[in-house]
């Protein structure tokens, strides 16, 4: 498979310094070798340019979304890179950076495919808007924006309007959710599986349901967005918003194996690694590298 690695050195969406170093830290520790050793061609497209914006200017464009215009601009560039990768027959693999990049990667994939599905693996729903977000951080908004809910600047990234239909969105692993997000889940009748539901129904049963729903739909592309904070906080201390009671490494690998073995995933994000706050033992880095090796092994099988 032809893998196009796209780096997004962005922290404005989480407003916590360090996430911007994630892509290069993974590269420095053998990302490209990991991909090639599993039998893939790699084209490293480099990093999306992220301008330097002072902390004093974070509310310059909006009182309700920090760093709004820079986030929109870099996501528009990301969307074009993802779209160009797909046009060229590649598999766009975006490494973050914070999860606000999901708005761009989904927009790029959506422009290429006529009907896209999104599997969002995350400890958080990321379906807040400028009206519901307690933190005003854009990394909690990309999935809502992709469904055409939220601030027009975010919903209209790369092209106007909806990128993915709500019925084609599948969210799994959530254990922190805001009140406004709960209301959106109910209003849009989202396929929304909290960690409580995972434990109750069983991970494999839920994965089979998600796969069955996707196969029964008319989608022609599937975007998989993987936030490392879906893992238990003890495994990923180097992430901006770690949450307890998450997936074990084995569960994370099982989820990735089960989904990627279907061979219907056409693009992917791997986000929220913050090397600046990792433990001295490099725990988060090592677990990320282990997951990445697993991802490309399954994709190469």
Which residue numbers are catalytic? 99, 122, 124, 126, 139, 227, 229, 272
Task: Give the sign of the dihedral formed by CA 87, CA 93, CA 98, CA 103.
Answer: positive
Helix, strand and coil content of the chain, in percent to the nearest 5, comes to: 45, 20, 35
Q: Which residues make beta-bridge pairs with 225?
A: 120, 269
The one-character DSSP state at 231 is B
Cα→Cα distances 104→164, 238, 283, Å: 12, 24, 29
How many CB atoms are closer than 10 A to CB 202? 11
Task: Give the sign of the dihedral formed by CA 193, CA 139, CA 157, CA 148.
Answer: positive
């Amino acid at each position: 498979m032809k893998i196009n690695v796209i780096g997004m050195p962005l922290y404005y969406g989480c407003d916590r310094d360090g996430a911007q170093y994630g892509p290069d830290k993974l590269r420095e520790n053998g990302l490209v070798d990991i991909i090639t050793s599993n039998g893939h061609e790699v084209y490293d497209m480099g990093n999306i340019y992220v301008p330097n914006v002072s902390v004093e200017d974070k509310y310059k464009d909006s009182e309700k979304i920090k760093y709004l215009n820079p986030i929109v601009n870099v996501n528009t560039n990301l969307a074009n890179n993802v779209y160009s990768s797909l046009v060229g027959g590649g598999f766009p693999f975006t490494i973050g950076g914070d999860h606000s990049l999901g708005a761009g990667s989904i927009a790029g994939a959506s422009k290429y495919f006529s009907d896209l599905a999104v599997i969002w693996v995350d400890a958080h729903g990321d379906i807040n808007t400028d009206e519901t977000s307690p933190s005003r951080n854009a990394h909690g908004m990309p999935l809502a924006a992709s469904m055409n809910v939220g601030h027009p600047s975010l919903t209209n990234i790369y092209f106007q309007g909806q990128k993915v239909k709500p019925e084609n969105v599948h969210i799994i692993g959530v254990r922190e959710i805001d009140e406004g997000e709960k209301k959106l889940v109910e209003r849009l009748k989202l396929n929304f599986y909290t960690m409580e539901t995972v434990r109750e129904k069983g991970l494999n049963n839920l994965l089979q349901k998600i796969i069955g729903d996707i196969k029964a739909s008319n989608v022609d592309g599937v975007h998989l967005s993987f936030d490392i904070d879906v893992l238990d906080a003890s495994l990923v201390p180097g992430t901006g918003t770690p949450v307890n009671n998450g997936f074990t490494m084995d569960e994370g690998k099982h989820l990735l194996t089960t989904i990627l073995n279907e061979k219907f995933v056409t693009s992917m994000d791997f986000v929220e690694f913050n090397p600046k706050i990792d433990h001295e033992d490099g725990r988060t880095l090592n677990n990320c590298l282990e997951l990445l090796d697993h991802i490309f092994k399954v994709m190469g099988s």
